[in-house]
Chains A and B, each alone.
Chain A
Amino acid sequence: MAVDNNKPRAVILRTAGTNCAYETKYALEKAGADVDLMHVNQLVRDKGLLSPYHIFVLPGGFTYGDDIAAGKVLANQLRQQILDELTKFVDDGKLIIGICNGFQVLMKMGLLPEVNGAQTSLAGNKQRFTLTYNDSNKFEDRWVYLKSDSNKSVFVDNDSFMYVPIAHAEGKFVSESQEDIEKLDKSGQIVFKYVDKNGNISDYPWNPNGSSGNIAGVCDSTGRVLGMMPHPERHVDPTQHPRWTREGLKAEGDGIVIFKNAVNYINRTF
């Protein structure tokens, strides 16, 4: 396919069990990006393949069946094989987003909540944050309201409120201590919190997995790496809303804004 030189270029990493590549590609294209899929085997063989891209996407799915723990095996592979390339990617001012399983991968390889965390966090027991089993101990598919009161992430507008679905079994954000959550909050890295339909912090089912601090998504200290459990790519078209037959068809779905912000950021800075 010919590359449109004016468009930001995104690459979606593909491997055994990345299931959401198709709809994530659709969302990014709709937002104005030029999108390729790439198998992890190709990337590991030729790391230079990453350089022409501006946005690196780890989509949802069940990589390697989520055997051992969700996202763990791909995280291990990326950490061992292309960690330097990925940190350089961020240092170059480019963007990384991990959605659902992709978020789990970013957390477990240590790229979130801090890019340089990967070198240190897994040695010994120094890891301070992770994603683990939902309080319900079940996979659940349900729609959630997200609120953002941080302007740290380039993917998200401050004060944004969006309605998107979650579909996971291991999305509960936990920390070593309450203090850690507060620190994360203070640094503006808590990008999304689960809220009720009125925008207030609430318990299950509004907080679908029991996450500490109702955390649904976090970014790194540069704001250029985002991880989130909910699926913005599943709400980019109006007919994807669960109540469009009641509330009418909007111009587009809430989730598109994340992809548009990414595209706009690249357009501004490159």
Chain B
Amino acid sequence: METRIEVFTKEHFPDSVGNEIASEVEHIGITSVDEIRMVQVYLVDGDLSGENIRRICGELLINGLTQDYICINGSPNQPEVQASEIKLGPKWQGDDTHAIEVTRKRGVMDPVESTVIKGIKDLGLSARSVKTAKRFLIAGQLTTDQLETIANKVLANKIIEDVFIDKDNLFYEGRNEAIDEVFHRQELDILDADDEQLLEVSERGQMYLTVEEMRTVQKYFVTLGRKPTDVELETVAQTWSEHCMHKTFKGIIDYNGEHIDNLLANTIVKATSELNKPWCVSVFKDNAGIIEFDEDYNICFKVETHNHPSAIEPYGGANTGIGGVIRDTLGTGLGAKPILNTDVFCFGSLDMPQETIPEGILHPKRIFKGVVSGVRDYGNRMGIPTANGSIFFDERYTGNPLVYCGNVGLIAKDKCEKESYKDDLILLVGGRTGRDGIHGATFSSVELTHESEMISGGAVQIGDPIMERKVTDALLIALDLGLYNNITDCGAGGLSSAVGEMGEELGAVVDLEKVPLKYDGLSYSEIWISEAQERMVLSVPPENMEEIRAVFEGEDVEATFIGKFTGDKRLHLRYKGETVADIEMTFLHDGVPRTTRKATWQLPSHKEPEIEVKKDYGEDLKKILSSWNVCSKEWVIRQYDHEVQGGSVLKPLVGVDNDGPGDACIVRPVLSSNKGIIVSNGMNPKYGDIDPYHMASSAIDEALRQVVSVGGSLEEVALLDNFSWGNTSKPECLGDLVRASMGCYDTALYYGTPFISGKDSLNNEYTVGDKTIAIPPTLLISAICVMPDVAKAISMDVKSPGNLIYIVGMTKNEFGGSHYYLTHGFVGNSVPRVDTEIAKRTMDLLASATGNGLVRSCHDCSEGGIAVTAAEMSFAGGYGMELDLSQVPVEEGIVRDDTVLFAESNTRFVVEVEPQQQSAFEEAIDGVSYGYIGKVVESDMLTVLSLSGKKVISERISDLKNAWQATLTL
């Protein structure tokens, strides 16, 4: 029997969810809503008496003080109201009350369902199934169109949810009906197909294999003398996808006539091997790169993108993005403990008018909110601090937002290597397999169109962080006990990729019917390529079978043996005893045909602006401070738990009121030790509009500047590269990639900072009608630094009146891609470069001055130059500053105040020094450009004198802070 239980907040208590939704509805321009109340709906199916239902409601489902409930009971055809008499008052009964009910579509993850079943079991009762829905009661005069708008723009995403407007579907009839599973071994007739037919097969199956690749597959099966099965072709498509194989980066490129065989090996990986740092433990081979930490542990770090899913379903996309990168760390070596999350997002501007948003695209604000809450809910629930990140805005990200998620792990020194052995069993642990995430790997490798949500809805999923938390707890126990030989995560491509990778050298046999399913009806092919979340694959010696199963059982995690590694170097899949795939591992992993692609690049020429000289730049400063990219991100940061695990040393928000913009975060992974790690990031796509080479070197410079700003040194810094690019089959787009990679190579080599891991996400374009919008080439550089003693850390807020202010580094006429130009509507051409004569020495000397305790605060100059840096230091510390531009070291020929204030030259720092340390500090940084430019003052004014000694900025720091804080308040 089914019971529908509706739980609602009592009328005299505020309904905070309802209130927030009401304000969002007002934001989208519907003003006739009086009030909104959220009703939580549970459908419980079980043999339960009225008394038992009352217990479930009273003891489990409601908070008796603030909530009440009603039950609708009985058979679906005869609903009967029972239990509590108290209902919502008359306001909620009239004609002007509407109801929108939202529920997850069948097959979409809803962790609450299994939690409620567990709770009912703890009461000593039992339920067969539970379904949940949210019912929004809306008081106010509203048209059907308005209700539709509220449903689609605020309450629901039809990709994953069903919506019922003013329409009851009390029992969701048929929701539990089994789907008959019909086993049908499918073969594809491609042996005699021509190119057109081959492409048709690839497209129909959403495999996105090119015609050359299809021909290679055809040839292989012609040689075998048989047709391929559907799952064989799927496996090839997953393995050969851009996402898994990085065909562009590893392919052959003709760059302006120059032959490049494997761009990755010739740039990024090459820098690492030439640097040959002894502290690099594992680079570019495992799920994450590993460097040394202390006597007992190493550190691993990985950053991933989850762009396309986040465009369609921002919450789920970001959710599973962070969940996925955490599994990368869990599956690095034999397993690492996740200790830190990072996140970097790129969106369209949040204030874009709705009518400028193309068809099929969610408004940037909705994407932004969804992504932030997706990362929040997963990271916080997993108990991992999110302490570093940034957000970048540009109109070109509107149709194709970028979501970078990173994770740092702590791994025991003797657990960094892994290898499967012949006869090891294949153990699948974690969440069950459903139809979710089918074709994620191939979907992420093509561009988005307004039809993407129709075709690829299945690629979008919702995460279950508590499942991943349980998997983590169980894995770390099994790791300590040494119960398995190898491990990897189920990410893109699902089992196909995980088993395919682990069994590459050995071969594997898998019995697909053994895989535990969320619901019946999946074909063997779907089981094999499903990207259902929260799953890991382990390679277990047969003698440990029982012990490892007991470990997972003790943590309430399902663990199922699904096959074994054979030693015959074949991938052999069976379904209920019948062979459905049998191909050679070598074909799968080495069979992909290499292509030669053309790449061209030439320096663009942008209009060079003529900006009038002003007497006062206070307004310009406030304009940059309040711009989307520079403004305070506190609204986001506070929603992340940045201190769980207790290791936080330097938080993302610093200063006298805990709200200034910290440069990098520092955490102590081992609480009994003062050894720490610094994590920072650098990114500036605006520079890439001029030259991706200098964009790359500036991004590296920025990430390293932040490390140095908080007290780190370049002694042990490793880098990650994450490329998000447009369609690289366009020669100009590929040319940008080559340029950026060259910048990475030169700059990393110069600074002595090796890359240890990276990832590329290509085809970030959005097509609507005949117009294609590509994202700007976007390179995220993440840096991780081991800090021997965190007590030497410094923060960016000024500390005390009377202290001296220095600028370290040379200011040049570098305005290309700057925020000063941006606020004037220009890009310009003079992009900031890294001065390889002096940049490293500048960082080294400053790092050693800080290490010797000579620096009280330090903040690097990035967007908005010296002016923004000084303003941020000032208002974060709560003291004013008096500065003199004539003391700033500049290259020859600079005569304008705005150049000194706002130019974005690299490798510059504003530094606060105590008067008694003046000579020691100047001695310490002797040999690089620096200037003693002023001091910290008791007053609340930031005063700047021009090159000719007149006041060019005279602003209250509270006004500057307000400008900086007012932008991002949602």
Can you list, as one digit per residue, whether each of B70-114 has a CB less than 8 Å from chain A (1) or not (0)? 000000000000000000000000000000000000000001100
Chain B residues in 8 Å Cβ range of A79: 59
Which chain A residue shows the least CB distance to B649? A239
- Interface residue? A233 (CB, 8 A): yes
Q: Assuming the A-B contacts A39-B554, A126-B64, A245-B650, are A142 and B643 also in contact, with contact meaning beta carbons closer than 8 angstroms in the complex?
A: no
CA A185 to CA B111, docked complex, whole Å: 39
B residues 622-678 with Cβ under 8 Å of A? 637-651, 653-656, 658, 668, 671-672, 674
Closest chain-A Cβ to B182's Cβ sits at a distance in Å of: 35
- Interface residue? B799 (CB, 8 A): yes
- Interface residue? A137 (CB, 8 A): yes
Q: Assuming the A-B contacts A16-B469, A23-B646, are A139 and B115 also in contact, with contact meaning beta carbons closer than 8 angstroms in the complex?
A: no
CA A68 to CA B59, docked complex, whole Å: 11
- B641 & A141 in contact (Cβ 8 Å cutoff): yes
Chain A residues in 8 Å Cβ range of B650: 245
Chain A residues in 8 Å Cβ range of B112: 65, 67-68
Which of B116, B642, B795 is in CB contact (< 8 Å) with A67? B116
Q: Assuming the A-B contacts A81-B122, A137-B17, are A245 and B794 also in contact, with contact meaning beta carbons closer than 8 angstroms in the complex?
A: yes
- A130 & B66 in contact (Cβ 8 Å cutoff): yes
- A243 & B656 in contact (Cβ 8 Å cutoff): yes
CA A246 to CA B794, docked complex, whole Å: 9
A-B contact count (CB 8 A): 191
- B65 & A176 in contact (Cβ 8 Å cutoff): yes
CA A142 to CA B642, docked complex, whole Å: 9
- B111 & A246 in contact (Cβ 8 Å cutoff): no
- A20 & B644 in contact (Cβ 8 Å cutoff): yes
Chain A residues in 8 Å Cβ range of B791: 239, 249
Which chain A residue shows the least CB distance to B42? A68
CA A69 to CA B58, docked complex, whole Å: 13
Which chain B residue shows the least CB distance to A176? B65
- Interface residue? A53 (CB, 8 A): no
- A141 & B115 in contact (Cβ 8 Å cutoff): no
Which chain A residue shows the least CB distance to B467? A16
Chain B residues in 8 Å Cβ range of A89: none
A residues 220-236 with Cβ under 8 Å of B? 231, 233-234, 236
Interface of A is mostly: mixed
- B122 & A61 in contact (Cβ 8 Å cutoff): no
Q: Assuming the A-B contacts A64-B115, A127-B65, A137-B16, are A26 and B639 also in contact, with contact meaning beta carbons closer than 8 angstroms in the complex?
A: no
Chain A residues in 8 Å Cβ range of B860: none
Which of B19, B115, B464, B674 is in CB contact (< 8 Å) with A239? B674
- Interface residue? B47 (CB, 8 A): no
Q: How many residues of A contact B (CB 8 A)?
A: 67
CA A127 to CA B67, docked complex, whole Å: 11
Chain B residues in 8 Å Cβ range of A61: 383
A residues 160-201 with Cβ under 8 Å of B? 165, 167, 174-176
Chain A residues in 8 Å Cβ range of B16: 133-135, 137
CA A171 to CA B465, docked complex, whole Å: 21
CA A215 to CA B654, docked complex, whole Å: 27
Residue among B61, B119, B654 with max Cβ neighbours from chain A (10 Å) = B119
- A22 & B646 in contact (Cβ 8 Å cutoff): yes
Which chain B residue shows the least CB distance to A168? B641
- A62 & B556 in contact (Cβ 8 Å cutoff): no
Chain B residues in 8 Å Cβ range of A123: 58
B residues 415-449 with Cβ under 8 Å of A? none
A residues 1-35 with Cβ under 8 Å of B? 14, 16-17, 19-20, 22-23, 26-27
Chain A residues in 8 Å Cβ range of B655: 243, 246
Chain B residues in 8 Å Cβ range of A42: 554
- Interface residue? B245 (CB, 8 A): no
Can you list, as one digit per residue, whether each of B45-71 has a CB less than 8 Å from chain A (1) or not (0)? 000000000000011110111101000
Which chain B residue shows the least CB distance to A231? B643
Chain B residues in 8 Å Cβ range of A165: 643
CA A108 to CA B473, docked complex, whole Å: 25
- A242 & B646 in contact (Cβ 8 Å cutoff): no
- B642 & A141 in contact (Cβ 8 Å cutoff): yes
Can you list, as one digit per residue, whether each of B781-797 has a CB less than 8 Å from chain A (1) or not (0)? 00000000011011101
- Interface residue? A49 (CB, 8 A): no
B residues 545-566 with Cβ under 8 Å of A? 554-556
Closest chain-B Cβ to A109's Cβ sits at a distance in Å of: 10
- A245 & B466 in contact (Cβ 8 Å cutoff): no
Which chain B residue shows the least CB distance to A24? B646
Among listed A70-78, A90-98, A145-153, A261-269, interface-contacting one:
A70-78
CA A66 to CA B795, docked complex, whole Å: 35
Can you list, as one digit per residue, whether each of A117-135 has a CB less than 8 Å from chain B (1) or not (0)? 0000111111111101111
- A80 & B65 in contact (Cβ 8 Å cutoff): no
CA A139 to CA B379, docked complex, whole Å: 12
Which chain A residue shows the least CB distance to B17? A137
Residue among B16, B376, B473, B799 with max Cβ neighbours from chain A (10 Å) = B16
Closest chain-A Cβ to B467's Cβ sits at a distance in Å of: 8
Closest chain-A Cβ to B85's Cβ sits at a distance in Å of: 12
- B555 & A39 in contact (Cβ 8 Å cutoff): yes
Closest chain-B Cβ to A100's Cβ sits at a distance in Å of: 10
Closest chain-B Cβ to A32's Cβ sits at a distance in Å of: 15
- Interface residue? B382 (CB, 8 A): yes
Q: A68-B116, A137-B19 are in contact. List 10 more A-B contacts (CB 8 A).
A: A16-B556, A19-B645, A23-B644, A39-B554, A77-B122, A122-B64, A239-B791, A242-B653, A245-B654, A246-B797
11 contacts between A and B (CB under 8 A): A16-B466, A16-B469, A20-B645, A39-B554, A41-B556, A76-B122, A139-B639, A141-B640, A243-B654, A243-B655, A246-B656
Interface residues of A (CB under 8 A from B): 14, 16-17, 19-20, 22-23, 26-27, 39, 41-42, 60-62, 64-69, 72-73, 76-77, 79-81, 108, 121-130, 132-135, 137-143, 165, 167, 174-176, 231, 233-234, 236-237, 239-240, 242-243, 245-246, 249
Closest 5 CB pairs of A and B: A19-B383, A23-B646, A67-B115, A137-B16, A245-B795
